[in-house]
Amino acid sequence: EVQLVASGGGLVQPGRSLRLSCAASGFSFDDYGMHWVRQAPGKGLEWVSGISWNSGSIAYADSVKGRFTMSRDNAKNSLYLQMNSLRAEDTAFYYCAKDKGGEITPQAGGGWFDPWGQGTLVTVSS
Amino acid sequence: DIQMTQSPSSLSASVRDRVTVTCQASQDISNYLNWYQQKPGKAPKLLISDASNLETGVPSRFSGSGSGTDFTFTISSLQPEDFATYYCQQYDNLPFTFGPGTKVDIK
């Protein structure tokens, strides 16, 4: 069974940093692209970032570009999101999700989110 | 960015009702559209891919149709476990974008 377990969320002050992790199991992690999707409490879904199987393609939403860095360690079956210069508007549940194939760009057939992890809550507040 | 709209934003329905949700893209996305179900406190779940392809294990009362800019999601006979919020999502272009969601609750 595919399992994705996100961790690392918490309360952080504006301008500070936080690193999220996602532990994957139940599938060949190094064969698949991965994504982070967030959801502010009571709001809709926003794609944040995606990374291809070999980290050759990494993409970001404009709202986080230059502040967030997505990475992966295939040897550890783990995904990361380094979040710097956090803002109040970054407050959300952050979900990791698996793509259907190794690539994450639409041209290469990426852009699916299935399945999703349980989410970890990031609260940015003073 | 491709903007996704959904209607209605919410609806109230009874068990065994037929429910239809529409999703519109701001430009042609062919059939590069997914539908997700999200229950309170849970992560979303992929129900339909490529606009009309039912994912493995998803009940056949769920269906999707459409291409280009206009899409429809239907529950043929609403069951108690179907009360949730439904989102469409395009994967034709980066950034991937979602509709605002349609909340289906009990009448």
pLDDT digits (tens, 9 = 90+) for A11-48: 999 999 999 999 999 999 999 999 999 999 999 999 99
| Residue B17 CB contacts under 8 Å (≥ 6 apart), including other chains | B77, B78, B107
The CA–CA distances, whole Å, from A68 to A62, A75, A84 equal 10, 22, 6
pLDDT < 50: residue spans in chain B: none
CA–CA separation, B96 vs A111, rounded Å?
7
pLDDT of residue A107: 87
Given an 8 Å threshold on Cβ–Cβ distance, is B43 in contact with A114?
Answer: no
Q: What is the pLDDT of residue A62?
A: 98
Q: In chain B, what residues touch A59 (CB-CB under 8 Å)?
A: 94-95
pLDDT at B13: 96
Q: Could you tell me whether strands B70-75 and A58-60 are parallel, antiparallel, or unpaired per DSSP bridges?
A: unpaired
Q: How far apart are CA A110 and CA A108, in angstroms?
A: 6
d(CA B36, CA B51): 11
User: For the residues A89-114, what does the mean pLDDT come to?
Assistant: 95
How many beta-carbon pairs below 8 A join chains A and B?
60
pLDDT at A56: 96
pLDDT tier, A109 (very low <50, low <70, confident <90, very high otherwise):
confident
C-alpha Rg value of chain A to the nearest Å: 14
Given B32, B45, B96, which is nearest A47 (Cβ)?
B96
Minimal Cβ distance to B43: which of A50, A100, A116: A116
- pLDDT given at position A77: 98
Q: Give the pair of three-digit tokens for residue A71.
A: 């990475």
Average pLDDT, chain A: 97
Residues 28-57 of A with CB under 8 A from B: 35, 44-47, 50
What letter does residue A90 receive in the DSSP assignment?
A: G
Distance from CA of A61 to the nearest CA of B (A): 6
pLDDT at A103 over 90: yes
The first and second tokens of residue A115, run together, are: 């399945």
Q: Who among B34, B45, B98 is closest to A44 (CB)?
A: B98
CA B11 – CA B102 distance, rounded (Å): 7
